[in-house]
Each structure stands twice: as C-alpha cells, then as structure tokens.
Chain A
Amino acid sequence: MNELNLKFGFRDNFLEGVRQPEELEQFVKTCGQQAEIDAQNLRHKEINDLIRDTAKRQIKHIILRNVCGHRYIGTRLSNSEGETVKIDVYNYAGNDLGVFLDGHHINVYGNAQDGVGNTMNSGEIVVHGKAADVAAMSMRGGKVFIRDNVGYRAAIHMKEYKDKVPVLVIGGTAQDFFGEYMAGGKVILLGLNLKEGEMHRANYIGTGMHGGVIYLRGNVKDSQLGKEVGIRPLDEEDKEIVEKYVKEYCSHFNCDPGEILNSEFKKLLPVSSRPYGKIYAY
C-alpha cells in the first residue's frame, strides 16, 4: 500500500465501488427498440456502461430517467459502424454532457450544467432549458442547441477543420467571455428572452477570438467586445446560414422562425487570425 494514500486516506471517488454492468440489469427496462435506464441510484460510469451495453444490443433509443447531476453522459459511445443512438435525458444532466460525442443525438428535458458538448466530434445535443458555464467548449464538430441562456465562456476555443464545422445555437442570452479564444465554428445567439430595447449583458465577447463567426441578434456596445473582434453586416451567405440554423432551432423548440429572422443580426468576426503573432515573431 502506498504510504501516502494510507496516511491521508485518499480514495478514488470516480471508480471506487463502481459495479459491473452485469450487476445493474435491474436498472434497465427494454421494450422493443427502446430502453429505459433509471439513473436514480447509479454512478455516472455505471450509466455510461449501461448505455454502451444497451447500444450494443442494437437498441437505438435510450431514455434516462431521474438524472440529477450525473456527469459525462453519452461519452465512450463509439460510432465505428456509423450507427447512432438517440438518448433522452430526464431531467438535469451533469457536467460534461456528451463529452467527445461521436455522431449520437442527446436531448435533455431540463437544464444542463458546465461543459455541454465538451470537445464533441459530431452528432447533436438539444437542451430544453439552460446550460451553465463553458457550453460547447473546444467543440470540433456537430451541433448544440440550447433553448434558454448559457453561462460564462460559451464556445470557448471552439475550432473547425475543413468540413468539420461545429455549430452552437443559443435561444437566450449569454454571460461574459462569450466566444473566448474561438478558433472556428459558427455560434448564433438569439436573445429571444431580451425585452424590447434590452441589450445583451455579456462583457468581453470574443476575447482572444481568432477564427469562426458569431451571429448575434440584439444589441451590444463596442465596449462589451474583446479587442480582437469587429462587427460586420451579414451578407447573403451569412443570411442563409442563420436562416438554416434558426429554422432548426425552431423545429426543436416549437417556435416561429419568421419572427426571429425578421429582426436584425450582427456578425462578429475576429479582426486578425493571429492577434498576438507579433509578440512571438518579428
């Protein structure tokens, strides 16, 4: 035994006491192509083990009940044969929902916590509620739709490569450092819950941004923007992109795209692709 471990009583709180999937069969109810997992008394690793096992049995629709802060839902689900599953989460997904998600679809019928879609590769996450901090952090592909607000640092370090372009659509407003260090991808902030004439409150929008684009509905002052971003009007191509994703947003949350699209959008772009290049090279 490691003396330090013994002395300070260190325990592995992630893996200690985790049961094997065989012991957890009573938590899964299968009905044809659909399975329900009761998460009430499960650890997050146990949930993901069960999702994996269930998906291996060719079940394409998994419903998670009594979720309350369980982390990493939907991770470790490979997609080698291109077969994807749909996961419905009731109600409160924990941190890093859909982390590294690869092609699967997750619906959350409640709020999500920090790190929704962290480093996700492809697929779709739809949150019927709000998300906390660092939503879509380091996202590399796929789509995330958040019905209401997001916390600090949404879309931080989102990136794109060739045809892999991540998309984040937020129905409400965002807190500070929105789009911080963004390197790619498309982010749409709709501000649907802002009152007439009310501005977005986020400060430091796009600080350190050097790629990608933010489409913003509603108003912000120049002083709310990071030094690295500028405001431009939308061109025809931009309008098509916004229309496409607003329509998708509305189909998820049953609202009218016409009204949203009738209002004015701004486009936030990085003014330089290497804002600090001069510090490192001369």
Chain B
Amino acid sequence: MIDNRKIESERFLPDKDIENCGLFGVMNTSGTRFGGEMAINAIKNMKVRGNGLGGGFAIYGLYPQYKDYYALHVMYENKNDEAKKNAEQFLHENFYVVYDEEIPTNPEVDVFCPPLVWRYFITPHKKEINGVSEDEYVISRVMDMNKYMQDVYVFSSGKDMGVFKGVGFPEEIADYFMLDKLYEGHIWTVHSRFPTNTPGWWGGAHPFSILDWTVVHNGEISSYGTNRRFLELHNFYCTLYTDTEVMAYAVDLLMRRQKLPIEVVSKIFAPPMWNSIKYMKEREKQLYTTLRMVYAPLLMNGPFTVVIANQEEMIGLTDRIRLRPITAGAKDDFVFLSSEEGAIRYVCPDLELAWTPPGGEPVVARLNSKDHLKSLNKSV
C-alpha cells in the first residue's frame, strides 16, 4: 500500500522540478594546465540551474605522471569493503596495477552518503590479447565491473583524465574532493543537477564516461530506447537507467571505433531535417541522406545540449532545433562552453568573443588549433 499520509516538511518539494541542468566547459587549446577555479565559479554562477542532487567534473591532463596508464576512478557504495576486495582481486587478475590509493576527500564537507572512492593506475598484461586491442579489453572489463559487481561502479577509465562526481551541488563535490587545491588540467567540464528520470545517486551524476570520453548533458533524449537497442548490438550495455549514458557509448562507438570525426558524428546525432536536405547541393544531399539511413538508430531525438570531451577535444552540441541553450566564448587560448553567457563572463570578464551556434552545429575546441572559430560565422 502506498502511504498517503502528509508528512510535515520544513523544505518545499515542488510537484515539478523547475530547474534546468547547468553545463560548463573550459579548455586551454595550447594544452596548458590550469586549476579548477573557473569551472567551479562558473557553475556556482548558474546555481539556480541545479538542484543539489548531482554535480560532477571531468578533468583532462589530470595525471601527467601516470599518463601511459588507464586511470580508474572506482566508487564503492555503502563503503562496502567486501566489494572492494572483489574488485581489487578482479583488477589484479586482469591488469598490472601500477599504483592505487584512496582519492583524498575533505571530511569536513557535509555531503549526502559519500561512497568510498579509490583510484587505480592500471595496464593490461599484453598489448593485444586474442586480437582485442587494449582499449577494447579495458572497456569490456569496466563494463563487467559495472554490470556484475554489487556496490561497485567505475566513474571513469581513461588515460590522464578522471571524473569526480556525486550527490550535492557541484561546488560541494569540488570542495569534497578538494579539486581546486589538488588538481590541474587542460580541460574541465562540469555539470549541475541530476540525471534525467533517475533519483540522485553518486554513480548516476554527470559526467558519464567511457575510456577517455565524457559527456555532460542538459535535456532529455526521448529516443533512448532505440539508441540503447542499437548500442547493445555493439556490446554497449546501459546500466544506469538514464538517457545520457547512450550518448557516451554512441560517441565511443562512432568516434573511437569507427573513427568518424565529430563534424560527421554531430550530423548523426542531430541530422538536418529532410526538408533542409531537399534544398542542399547534390553532394551534400547524398552525404546527409546516407548518414540518416545508415545511422538512423543513433539520431538523438528530444531536447539536448551536450558538452563532450576527450584528451584532444572539447565539443559543444545542441539538438537540431536548439531546445536547450548553449553559448560559446573565447579568449586567447581559452575556449568556453556554457549554458549561460553570464557564467562565462563571470569567470572571464575580458572575454574576446561570445557566440551562439545554430542547432546541430558543433563547436569543436581542439588542441593546438583554432577549429572552434569555424562555427563562428554560422552563429549569432
């Protein structure tokens, strides 16, 4: 029976959640590493976009001293020691574990039910195992851990990068993991609020990650079912009950395995309407028709803005009719992506450029390039 008693509350829980996720990303395209101050202050500036049920950061260029090893950030829920023993046994069986330690946290920061979070720097025993590449091998082991191990969840598994996330406002998560004091990187992405249609839990907060790809997402992918079924055909299993996961796996499939550039991938996720294709030149018409036919199950329907990142790139993309906001900004070697322009201005008062790309048009910030400016002349 559902208990219908009214419970007195000092807090107001609205019937409908009226916030909107906050996204922010900052990259130094020359590869210079910098602290977390900008990312933390920017997301604080957009506090009303979050709700305290989730916050997380992805940092690239995080572990230069271990950059040849896969860095696993592993969370043990309920501080389950047994789970940790099992997981470590599994890791030692399958990898060389070069170094491991607990991720330092600040016990004075009051966060909701923090899990134990540990990091491992690992490498497979051989370069290639039965024709399977290192990357594939790591992914399949990480998938196994997420799928089969109770109370174990791998936050991130890429090289020279890491994800820190949890339940709380992002600035609290940053304080808890002491991000501003301990770490530097050349890309920082951050997300505020919680995963769509899921209760807030530590593993479920954004960013979502696979190898060194991460995704932070504002919106709702209504094509989740179709996308998930297609990804399962390629051995990606969704374990998190939330939509953004499919985006992370789709990025991995298309960009790492199939080696498509993001400029093409963005036209798979957010393809032009048939009505626009009709008016294109013949070559373009062929390209976009082919993409829509071959990759129809990876069209991401519904409103979204995402910031996708890997070691080399930070990409901002919205759905094709832009039902969620994005603003890009640039100054010197810094490129910014944000849900709101104010947040960029707040951390970079002397910003040189601010622009709003059209729906479905990616803003691509790349190491040692000015590619992000390519979207400028299509923008307002």
Bound together: yes
Which of A25-33, A89-97, A211-219, A261-269 lies at the interface with chain B? A89-97
**Chain A residues with CB below 8 A from B343, complex form:** 69
Q: Which of B199, B276, B321 contacts A8 (CB 8 A)?
A: B199
Per-position binary interface string of chain A over residues 1-34, scored 1 when its CB falls under 8 Å from any chain B CB and 0 otherwise:
1111100111111110000000000000000000
**Chain A residues with CB below 8 A from B200, complex form:** 8-9
Are B11 and A12 interface neighbours, CB within 8 A? yes
CB of B167 within 8 A of chain A? yes
Are A5 and B9 interface neighbours, CB within 8 A? yes
User: How many angstroms from the CA of A63 to the CA of B169 in the assembled complex?
Assistant: 31
CB of B356 within 8 A of chain A? yes
Q: Shortest CB–CB separation between residue B17 and chain A, in angstroms?
A: 9
Are B112 and A9 interface neighbours, CB within 8 A? yes
**Which residues in window 306-343 of B have CB below 8 A to A?**
321-322, 325, 327, 340-343
User: How many angstroms from the CA of A71 to the CA of B169 in the assembled complex?
Assistant: 19
**Chain A residues with CB below 8 A from B19, complex form:** 13
User: How many angstroms from the CA of A204 to the CA of B320 in the assembled complex?
Assistant: 12
Are B167 and A92 interface neighbours, CB within 8 A? no
Are A174 and B45 interface neighbours, CB within 8 A? no
**Chain A residues with CB below 8 A from B321, complex form:** 152, 176-177, 204
Q: Shortest CB–CB separation between residue B322 and chain A, in angstroms?
A: 5
**Chain A residues with CB below 8 A from B365, complex form:** none
Are B51 and A176 interface neighbours, CB within 8 A? no
* Residue in A69, A92, A94 whose Cβ sees the most chain B Cβ within 10 Å: A69
Q: Which of A2, A15, A132, A204 contacts B327 (CB 8 A)?
A: A132
User: How many angstroms from the CA of A2 to the CA of B168 in the assembled complex?
Assistant: 18
CB of B271 within 8 A of chain A? no
Closest to A2 in B: B9
Per-position binary interface string of chain A over residues 225-256, scored 1 when its CB falls under 8 Å from any chain B CB and 0 otherwise:
00000000000000000000000000000000
Q: Which of B9, B52, B341, B380 contacts A175 (CB 8 A)?
A: B380
**Chain B residues with CB below 8 A from A71, complex form:** 48
Per-position binary interface string of chain B over residues 353-368, scored 1 when its CB falls under 8 Å from any chain A CB and 0 otherwise:
0101011000000000
Closest to A9 in B: B112
Closest to A133 in B: B325
User: How many angstroms from the CA of A9 to the CA of B321 in the assembled complex?
Assistant: 34
Are A91 and B345 interface neighbours, CB within 8 A? yes
Given A1-B10, A149-B380, A173-B380, A133-B322 contact (CB < 8 Å): yes
Q: Which of B50, B325, B340 contacts A13 (CB 8 A)?
A: B50
Tell me how many residues of A have a C-beta within 8 Å of chain B. Answer: 43
CB of B66 within 8 A of chain A? no
Per-position binary interface string of chain B over residues 150-189, scored 1 when its CB falls under 8 Å from any chain A CB and 0 otherwise:
0000000000000000011100000000000000000000
CB of A147 within 8 A of chain B? no
Given A68-B342, A69-B345, A175-B356, A13-B52 contact (CB < 8 Å): yes
Are B346 and A5 interface neighbours, CB within 8 A? no
Q: Shortest CB–CB separation between residue A43 and chain B, in angstroms?
A: 9
Q: Which of A15, A69, A174, A204 contacts B346 (CB 8 A)?
A: A69
CB of A151 within 8 A of chain B? yes
Closest to B327 in A: A132
Q: Which of A1, A9, A14, A150 contacts B48 (CB 8 A)?
A: A14
Are A175 and B322 interface neighbours, CB within 8 A? yes
User: How many angstroms from the CA of A92 to the CA of B199 in the assembled complex?
Assistant: 34
Per-position binary interface string of chain B over residues 7-51, scored 1 when its CB falls under 8 Å from any chain A CB and 0 otherwise:
111111100000100000000000000000000000001111011
Are A5 and B13 interface neighbours, CB within 8 A? yes
CB of A172 within 8 A of chain B? yes
Closest to B199 in A: A8
Are A8 and B53 interface neighbours, CB within 8 A? yes
Tell me how many residues of B have a C-beta within 8 Å of chain A. Answer: 40
Q: Shortest CB–CB separation between residue B52 and chain A, in angstroms?
A: 4
Q: Shortest CB–CB separation between residue A179 and chain B, in angstroms?
A: 15
Are A9 and B53 interface neighbours, CB within 8 A? yes
Q: Which of B9, B48, B345 contacts A68 (CB 8 A)?
A: B345
Given A13-B19, A173-B380, A2-B341 contact (CB < 8 Å): no
CB of B279 within 8 A of chain A? yes
Q: Shortest CB–CB separation between residue B318 and chain A, in angstroms?
A: 9
Are A11 and B52 interface neighbours, CB within 8 A? yes
**Which residues in window 73-103 of A have CB below 8 A to B?**
91-92, 94-95
CB of A111 within 8 A of chain B? yes
User: How many angstroms from the CA of A150 to the CA of B380 in the assembled complex?
Assistant: 7
Are B341 and A10 interface neighbours, CB within 8 A? no
**Chain B residues with CB below 8 A from A1, complex form:** 7-11
**Chain A residues with CB below 8 A from B169, complex form:** 11, 13
User: How many angstroms from the CA of A122 to the CA of B310 in the assembled complex?
Assistant: 48
Per-position binary interface string of chain B over residues 361-380, scored 1 when its CB falls under 8 Å from any chain A CB and 0 otherwise:
00000000000000000101
Q: Which of B52, B342, B358 contacts A9 (CB 8 A)?
A: B52
**Chain A residues with CB below 8 A from B51, complex form:** 10-11, 13
**Chain B residues with CB below 8 A from A111, complex form:** 341, 354
Are B112 and A92 interface neighbours, CB within 8 A? no
* Residue in A4, A5, A9, A113 whose Cβ sees the most chain B Cβ within 10 Å: A9
The 7 lowest CB-CB distance pairs between A and B, nearest first, are A69-B342, A2-B9, A149-B380, A11-B52, A9-B112, A68-B346, A5-B11
Sample of 18 further A-B pairs with CB below 8 A, known A2-B8, A3-B7, A13-B47: A5-B13, A8-B199, A8-B200, A9-B52, A9-B168, A9-B200, A12-B12, A68-B45, A68-B342, A68-B346, A69-B45, A92-B345, A94-B340, A132-B327, A132-B341, A151-B322, A151-B325, A223-B279
A and B contact pairs by CB, cutoff 8 A, 19 listed: A1-B9, A8-B199, A8-B200, A9-B52, A10-B51, A10-B52, A11-B52, A13-B50, A68-B342, A69-B342, A69-B346, A91-B345, A92-B342, A114-B340, A132-B325, A152-B359, A173-B380, A175-B356, A204-B321
Residues of chain A touching chain B, judged by Cβ–Cβ distance below 8 Å, are 1-5, 8-15, 44, 68-71, 91-92, 94-95, 111, 113-114, 130, 132-133, 148-152, 172-177, 201, 203-204, 223
Residues of chain B touching chain A, judged by Cβ–Cβ distance below 8 Å, are 7-13, 19, 45-48, 50-53, 112, 167-169, 199-200, 276, 279, 321-322, 325, 327, 340-343, 345-346, 354, 356, 358-359, 378, 380
